[in-house]
Amino acid sequence: MMTAASSRCLLMLMLLLCLGGCSTVKNSLFPPGVKLNWERVSLTTAAKSNRDFPVAVDIVLVMDETLARKISAMKAGDWFASRAGLIKTHPGDLDIESLELVPGATITLPGKRFTQKRVFLAVVIADYFTSGDHNVRVDGFKGKLSIELGATDFSVSASEK
């Protein structure tokens, strides 16, 4: 014989199983996207980077899955040309940290700035005079991110120490 408490538990379990396909229930139990785990983000620019001109750098967090696919396929030039329009048409789906670093500069940002939301994409995009993709996906990185802006391109590494 079932008690009232057992009946309620069984009813709740059945309800959850029936609603398992419902995205609202699924998203509240298992939120989509990933939570970034960055302690800090350091950017260093080489002495003669970008023909001795400042480098514009965007750290872009994307909270919409469809928009993430679109942005991940963009080259840096396409991103910087369409950034303003994307911000207008996707309010709340983008979080962008825009920086401009002169050659020889170093800046460190606290990781907490980037770890508050779940994202489908985190990417660093740099605006160089040279052609190229100039973007690196970084949502899989953990710990201390190091972005090294070289003469014609950049690299990203991470240390969990």
Least confident of 8-12, 80-84, 105-109: 8-12
CATH for 32-159, options being 2.40.37.10, 2.60.40.4150, 3.30.200.210, 1.10.1020.10: 2.60.40.4150
139 pLDDT higher than 80: yes
Our CA angle for 68, 72, 76, nearest 5°, is 125
Cross-strand partners of 16? none
Domain residue ranges in the chain: 1-30, 32-159
> 108: which 2 tokens?
């460190």
pLDDT at 117: 86
Tell me the mean pLDDT in the region 14-35. 59
pLDDT tens sequence across 36-70:
999 999 999 999 999 999 999 999 999 999 999 99
